[in-house]
A and B are shown apart, each in its own frame.
Chain A
């Protein structure tokens, strides 16, 4: 167990300023307290080995990149485009394979002369070349660090390109890596751009079915989105668009018609969810399709929102059928997992989402945290208004939208809305901390030193995080599970996904390879012998 004294000892190794800072990012859950405050979305101190990335990674890498029928040009030196190329496992398929650009990486590969004289001309040439060869309907331009510094006006380049190719949608994103304090700034920038220039650009006016949804913040890692989509379609929903896993410009531009927005990853997409409500009157529902109980709850909440008898019946029938299917499948894995403990440190939602699934397998999450979340992801959205914006957050433009004169529709009457809000998380996320148990640790922006120290003390049976700390922890002899890319497995969403996850976790725990960590000569003495007789007494 960790208490404040042990925590103080750990932090005591830091220089004074670092200690003062980090102390506010670590909370020991006290169930007696109504609310515990944690510091989040603030700068990582230089020199501290963090897992965090940059605004560009959040914008192009996370939110924009999965849009499959869009050419994503990365304006900058080669690295940024290269690293965000096929590394995230956001799967996508298209009926017309010539409209799927996922396997392509477009970098303007800025050279020294572009830095000195400006890179707008090169970017313009790149646009001409991709339009000619790829014939996309939409193009995004994402800026990397030097672009903002040298003053390339990518917005103007996009405008000029649109004038030249009016049939193509061009959007520019000033998501330079130094903006904000983590990927989170990039999510916001991408949300603003999609809302301003893509969503609502389609000419669909009528909703295709009364149960039409958008799924927000689902990136189809390892096929999660496909699993969710199939489940929802079977129950009777129509999915207009997924933001943005296996998503497309074609579908996204008509996202305004839907009756409800589901929010899976709150952190990366809550801005669009909010703006869709203001602009088109579409409420959003916080769902979690990771874990069986969470999936069931999400399905029931959705059915309740529509309050349609047939939908409710199909939901219950689906749940019953799937539960029966997975129960026996899960049994052997549960036997291996039962009684184990986990650390769960992931981006901005999964640190919370996976705790329920772990619990279903009998695994207790004793430490959890987010890499780039805000306080509301920990404490709940009710605290948003009380968050004081620091300079780093203020640098990210906050887009405000107005109700659309023609397209705003009241989806649910205000009275019904209030009634529903009592029962289901409509336009609301409760955050991670409420569902954690007494004594568990919540760490924001967990760093290398704290990882080592907390593992030494808490000795978890499984450590779930990302690629950068995976092998650090594995060297310690502790099984790991990457929850950013699922260690190239998945899907983990829905009922079938839970079984995949259980299989993979059980595999990591039960792998016979762990038996060979210590060579036999370390556990056996070099010389062996035994005492033949006692000689002393008779002498």
Chain B
């Protein structure tokens, strides 16, 4: 397995070998699905839409409906405006969505289609909405695409049309699973807060089997809610890479204060999320949450000897890896390799803080580690060859490294293509941390049991 990967690390600059990221439009498509009654539209070749739909479907095992401008060579030469206009007309006639969310591709970006103007001058049926985001595949990653489409929701729809701000808050969950979005909303509910989550793929990307197909399932943030985000008194942006831009635009556009927090994965990041809500609502934390937190800390302490000091490599999307690193440190584990495919800086994009944040945490814990943004899994594998780990945490793509190096893999993040249920159950919040803890603990213990001699097989561990 991966037999061509040498231990010796040489400097490379020709591109990526086994990428740990994909392109913007996929993230934009996922974000769009978090709007109720929305049909994402890919302004590019058919292949883009086909690949994104297939990939999202493999992760969620749910229908991913999206249309495409079906570029041909002619459109690529003369511009895609006519294709997009035809598409708009056909989409509203045939599929009747409330919202059509157009994202661009490297093709339409390279030829310079002015999608904003095309959208502005398009004939849109009464009561229907089109929004658009520029998502060139040659910048950033799928996380930037998610961020850009979320920002487009604010740009096109948010309005501050009430005299006074409402006590409600906005929550931007970032590129996480519907199970996490549900959990984050539950936490806000428990804190007694009225909230608007956007985008919200719960109820869309985890829809039930009923015997009927709903092209637009019940879930998703409604256009009305998206408009109302401008009247909220606070935006909590969870994860700086996926959520900060939209929150900052909302602050600028509608004067809704923005607070950027870590994705609430693990005890510390969840504490910070709860504290932010506590401060906003000036309400004490209910016992129910204190109980959940106490239970989590109880388990962490009960079995600390299972994982304390274990070396771990973590890879995935930046917001997720930052939060996971913090959680691993709070368990006494040693996250010695942390890697994301999303670059820290891109032209036109915001300056990311992945390397700074993770290195800061490791320094504080007095740990030496490899930390890199914009890197690939070929590099991660080489790191592991040079400094082995006890555990690998990341997406399905980690399974090849895990097999090559005989390291247990805990699947967390996007995408997970070879397991089920992951998108339904949270890793966010105290409950989510408990679930993560169980996965990690089981992986480590099962490895010990697989490897130990008969006489060392313990009944109680």
Contact = CB atoms under 8 A, between A and B. Distances in A.
Interface residues of A, number: 93
Chain B interface size, under 10 / 10 to 19 / 20 to 34 / 35 or more: 35 or more
Given A46-B70, A476-B213, A114 B86 contact: no
A211 B25 CA distance: 50
B26 A54 contact: no
Nearest to B90: A47
A475 B210 contact: yes
B423 to A, nearest CB: 12
Contact of B107 (A49, A177, A392): A177
Interface stretch (B10-18, B195-203, B356-364): B10-18
A309 interface: no
- Counting chain B CB atoms within 10 Å of each CB, which of A77, A78, A105, A134 scores highest? A78
Nearest to A73: B15
Closest 8 CB pairs of A and B: A54-B47, A126-B14, A79-B23, A47-B90, A47-B87, A125-B14, A177-B45, A77-B137
A34 to B, nearest CB: 33
Interface in A66-115: 73, 76-85, 87, 97-98, 100-101, 103-115
A188 to B, nearest CB: 14
B400 A103 contact: yes
B156 interface: no
Contact of A49 (B4, B15, B22, B66): B66
A148 B209 CA distance: 44
Nearest to A55: B47
Interface stretch (A12-20, A404-412, A496-504): A12-20
Contacts of A63: none
Interface in A458-478: 466-477
Given A82-B23, A104-B17, A178-B75, 18 more contacts: A14-B93, A14-B94, A45-B70, A46-B86, A47-B67, A49-B68, A51-B50, A57-B47, A78-B141, A82-B22, A112-B139, A122-B15, A124-B14, A125-B13, A178-B71, A181-B72, A475-B210, A477-B210
B378 to A, nearest CB: 8
Nearest to A52: B46
B87 A46 contact: yes
Contacts of B95: 49, 448-449
B281 interface: no
A56 B47 contact: yes
Interface string A171-190: 00000111111100000000
A133 interface: yes
A511 to B, nearest CB: 12
B16 A107 contact: yes
Contacts, number: 273
B105 interface: yes
A459 B211 CA distance: 12
A79 B137 contact: yes
Contacts of A123: 14-15
A46 B90 contact: yes
A466 B84 CA distance: 26
A48 interface: yes
A48 B94 contact: yes
B15 A112 contact: no
Given A83-B54, A145-B76, A149-B107, A47 B94 contact: yes
A46 B47 contact: no
Contact of A475 (B21, B68, B141, B212): B212
Most buried by B among A55, A80, A395, A474: A80
